[in-house]
A = this chain, B = another copy of it.
Amino acid sequence: MTQKLSAAQAPALFTLTTGPVNCYPEVLSALGKPVLYDYDPAFMAYYENVTRKLAKALSSNDMPIVLQGEPVLGLEAAAHSLVAPEDAVLNLASGVYGAGYGEWLKPRAKDFHEIRVAYNDVIDPEAVDAFLSAHPEITLVAVCHHDTPSGTINPIQDIGQVVRKHGALFVVDSVSAWAGVEVDIDACCIDLLVTGPNKCLGCPPALSILTVSDRAWDKMAANRAAPRASILSILDWKDAWKATEPFPFTPSVSEIYGLEAGIDRYLAEGPENVWARHAKTAKAMRAGIKAMGLDLWAVSENIASPTCTSIKLPDGVDETDLRSLMKEAYGVVISSGRAETFNKLVRVGHMGPTAYPLYTILALTALGGALGQLLDKPFDIGSAVTAAETVMRS
């Protein structure tokens, strides 16, 4: 009489996606703490303390801002808050997410410019320099750090220094890179960073994290188009981290508990150690992919993100068939492409709790096994795992 869930409906054994990823156990435990009233002074003091820890995790001298929705909220809010009707903006698009950001910038700016490269490549800082030289009126430049649907990572430090040289504000979407790779806000000259706890920090999706430079605060304050009394307002939350200030609206209490646990773990492990295991995991994965005869999506491995491996889909394979079989036969869930990259690649995330090298052999086995079945020819899982293991032990 008992019923077994179909393999498709059963939860994955291993969620090796580009996010949401499963959370660290500490985070899951923290989510269930009793919910306090947001105006209980105990909660207000707690919120300030979490913000201070977050600043430490960001190596930021300024108090970061937590918005109460997953990072798309932070991204949309940044476009609404920073872009004034008289602005000329430059969007840097090396992938689906970077290009998508233009859709939020464009309707708000007087002039919208874009540098677009192939979605398996990254932005060239020199091209940005040249463009800004030709367009000194540009006041804001936006880029996606790790364009997740491509798995490629832009050189934000070089780009940021170019942008700063030209005096524009620099907005960076580092949602799926931060906490998995180093993001030096000062060295990268970032004026507004948007990230989230739901990728490399190992927390659930429900919050945005922002850092805002003084210049960016000034710009927003001066921008009459910047939202206020809105969920899209960043300004409303400027001082909300202070124990003495009211919240614009009720923060997501349980998610803040989870965020704290994620930060505590990150700081306890040591950010450098966390970045190192993300990098090593990615390296092991790529060694395995190549040993199996598959190709990386990125034009060159050195632009592939340490937090995600994008693999070119072999000819004759439908990505939905592939991912379905990987789940049903092996219990492994990985990510598809999106929009222009859909059905051209698949992606294995190396984020937070799954950014340990041993996870790669799960992905390699399921991927090779499923491809072998779909194409009815063997994929050399053995060599793949051996190659990955060689990286692990190094």
Chain A interface residues toward B at CB < 8 A: 2-5, 8-15, 17, 19-23, 25, 28-43, 45, 68-70, 72-73, 76, 103-104, 198, 204-206, 229-232, 249-255, 258, 267-271, 273, 324, 327, 329-333, 335-336, 356-358, 361-362, 365-366, 368-369, 373, 380-386, 389, 392-393
Q: A41-B327, A72-B249, A76-B230 are in contact. List 7 more A-B contacts (CB 8 A).
A: A2-B267, A15-B36, A22-B35, A25-B34, A29-B32, A329-B392, A382-B385
Residue on B nearest A369 in the bound complex, by CB: B389
Q: Once the chains bind, are B12 and A42 in contact (CB under 8 Å)?
A: yes
The answer to whether B8 and A20 touch across the interface, beta carbons within 8 angstroms, is no
CA distance in complex: A34, B17 (Å): 14
CA distance A3 to B34 in the complex (A): 22
A-B contact pairs, 24 of them (CB 8 A): A2-B267, A2-B269, A5-B269, A10-B42, A11-B40, A13-B358, A15-B34, A15-B36, A19-B37, A19-B250, A20-B35, A22-B36, A28-B33, A31-B31, A41-B327, A68-B70, A72-B249, A206-B255, A231-B232, A358-B365, A361-B362, A368-B389, A381-B382, A382-B386
A340 to chain B, nearest CB (A): 15
Min CB–CB distance A10 → chain B (angstroms)? 6
Cα distance A373–B393 when bound, in Å?
Answer: 9
A26 (CB) vs chain B CBs: closest residue: B33
Chain B: CB-nearest residue to A324: B41
Within 8 Å CB of A4, what residues of B? 269-270, 273
- Which residues from B are CB-within-8-Å of A255? 204, 206, 252, 254-255
Most buried by B among A30, A42, A392: A42
**How far does the alpha carbon of A389 sit from the alpha carbon of B362 in the complex, in Å?**
11
Q: How far is the CA of A84 from the CA of B153 in the complex (A)?
A: 41
Which residues of the other chain, B, contact A324 by a CB distance below 8 angstroms? 41
Q: A13-B356, A361-B365, A393-B369 are in contact. Are A42 and B382 (CB under 8 A)?
A: no
Q: Which of A23, A32, A37, A386 has the most CB of B within 10 A?
A: A37
Residue from the list B12, B206, B368, B392 in contact with A40, Cβ < 8 A: B12
- Which residue of chain B has its CB nearest to the CB of A360? B365
Say whether A76 contacts B231, CB under 8 Å.
yes
The contact of A15 among B37, B69, B250, B385, by CB within 8 Å, is B37
Query: What B residues does A5 contact at CB under 8 A?
Result: 42, 269
CB-CB nearest 6 A-B residue pairs: A382-B382, A2-B270, A206-B252, A204-B254, A31-B31, A28-B32
Which B residues are CB-close (under 8 A) to A361? 361-362, 365, 385
Docked-complex contact A40 and B333, CB < 8 angstroms: yes
Known contacts being A3-B268, A250-B198, is A385 close to B381, with CB within 8 Å?
yes
B9 close to A45 (CB less than 8 A):
yes
Task: List chain B residues, Cβ under 8 A from A267.
Answer: 2
User: What is the distance, in angstroms, from A201's C-beta to the closest C-beta of chain B?
Assistant: 12
A331 to B281: give the CA distance in the assembly, Å. Answer: 13
A246: nearest chain-B partner, CB-CB: B338
Q: How far is the CA of A39 from the CA of B337 in the complex (A)?
A: 12
Give the residue among A34, A38, A331 with the most B Cβ atoms within 10 A. Answer: A34
A42 touches B2 (CB 8 A): no
| Beta-carbon contact of A252 and B204 below 8 Å | yes
Complex Cα gap A31–B29 (Å) = 9
Q: In the docked arrangement, what's the CA distance between A17 and B103, Å?
A: 42
Q: Chain B residues near A10 (CB, 8 Å)?
A: 42
Q: With a CB–CB cut-off of 8 A, which chain B residues contact A68?
A: 69-70, 206
Query: With the chains together, A362 CA to B273 CA distance in Å?
Result: 22
Cβ-closest chain B residue relative to A42: B11
